[in-house]
Structure 1
Amino acid sequence: MDGAWWPSSCDAAAELPGLIAAVDRLLGRVTLRIGLHGDVWQNIPRRIPARGRQVRIGWFRHTDPRVITLSFAAGEPVVLLIVPSGTAAGAAEATLKLTAQDIGGMSIDAILTLAHLPADPAPRATADGSARWEDEGGSIIGQAARPSTGRPTTSE
């Protein structure tokens, strides 16, 4: 984990341009590709325009839904923990501060536990309206289900 990001929404087309610009500026590198979990985001474009180039967006279902990966022409990719957009400010800020420290070797679950955030990925709603954990298939009792985004939408 190289840091954290707290987007304002789950709308990839709206949120990714700001992330790309900030990472390019802060690291002095040029983001070429972003990988994210396809079920967590809405309105996922195939490409995002950024400073004279198109950043390719790849969506996957086999990656951890709690992270986003930015790749560059040279060097290691950057992996950011995603602080869910609906997170309370105090918990989100704690997560951002924690990931700004040396967290080498800490698991995502450990980071989220220290920041007082749920360690499990958010449940998704199934076709029948019940919530299920993505990795287990078990029901969630007593929690509101997050609507499934289904297949990502694209715009070019």
Structure 2
Amino acid sequence: MTATTLDKPAVEDRTATSSPPPPRLLLAPPGTAPALIDGAWWPRSRDLTAELPALTTVLDPLWGRITHVTVNPTFWPVIPRRVPVQGHVVKVGWFKAEQDPHSLLLLSFTAGRWDLLVIPPETDAVTAARLMITATDPARSLTASDLVKEAGRFRVTAEAEAEAAWDSARVTVWDSEGGHDVRRTSQGGPTEAAIGRVPVPATGR
């Protein structure tokens, strides 16, 4: 196997004659020991007819002509029986119980088999990048679904830590600007409370 990284171009030509954007794909390095996953694919939609041609265009020269693909129908609303790709047709099948819902199984003309992690199209770029790196790590041993679950837990933890850090920063500013200092009159009643200025979070946080 070989490693291939194809990113979305900064500007896409949207004319009628333009070719589809290259697939967002990362494959395990050559010489990597066999594992449950051979790489990660981040499609832009759940439309197999639209997504498979670009994927097979990249994989055919590497793995031999891809002739069959199977998916789990859990996350694919429509499963066409055949998809025209560059120079041939790919037959598409599905397995409900036997196949991981987050994987794509490919069979080539040379009788090779490969399994790709399918990263949900709606995944944010940071999580997708993490999934791609994890899925192609030489020490990888998780299933496709386990990789997605692990990435989800990591994202939740990171968000919680970021929120905790932000709350701590607000408290620090509040204290430093006299947020807890209340001046009282001789009768003991509050006459003025110093109000700390809560910073506005930076854009993107």
Q: TM-score range by the shorter chain?
A: 0.5 to 0.7
- Alignment correspondent of 1:20: 56
> Following the alignment from structure 2 to structure 1, what is the Cα–Cα distance between the partners of residues 139 and 107?
20
Q: State whether structure 2 residue 121 is matched by structure 1 residue 85.
A: yes
Q: Can you list the C-alpha shifts for 1:80-106, whole angstroms capped at 9, x where unaligned?
A: 011101111100011112222214433
* Contact 1:13–1:43, Cα closer than 8 Å, also in 2: no
TM-score, scaled to structure 1: 0.66
TM-score, scaled to structure 2: 0.51
2:66 to 7, 25, 31: 31
> Following the alignment from structure 1 to structure 2, what is the Cα–Cα distance between the partners of residues 49 and 109?
28
**Quick one: which amino acid aligns to residue 7 of structure 1?**
P
- Alignment correspondent of 1:117: 152
Q: Secondary structure at the match of 1:39?
A: helix
Q: Can you list the C-alpha shifts for 1:87-128, whole angstroms capped at 9, x where unaligned?
A: 1110001111222221443333553355x2369xxxxxxxxx
1:73, CA displacement in angstroms? 2.2
Q: Secondary structure at the match of 1:117?
A: helix
* Contact 1:33–1:72, Cα closer than 8 Å, also in 2: yes
Structure of higher RCO (CA pairs closer than 8 Å, 6+ residues apart): 1
- Alignment correspondent of 1:57: 92
> Following the alignment from structure 1 to structure 2, what is the Cα–Cα distance between the partners of residues 86 and 37?
18
* Contact 2:63–2:108, Cα closer than 8 Å, also in 1: no
Q: Decide which moves more: 82-91 or 7-16.
A: 7-16
CA RMSD after TM alignment: 2.2
* TM-aligned CA distance change 1:108 to 1:118, over 3 Å: farther
> Following the alignment from structure 2 to structure 1, what is the Cα–Cα distance between the partners of residues 119 and 66?
21
Aligned residues: 117
Q: Who wins on radius of gyration, i.e. which is larger?
A: 2
Q: Decide which moves more: 86-95 or 12-21.
A: 12-21
* TM-aligned CA distance change 1:75 to 1:117, over 3 Å: farther
> Following the alignment from structure 1 to structure 2, what is the Cα–Cα distance between the partners of residues 51 and 12?
14
- Alignment correspondent of 1:102: 138
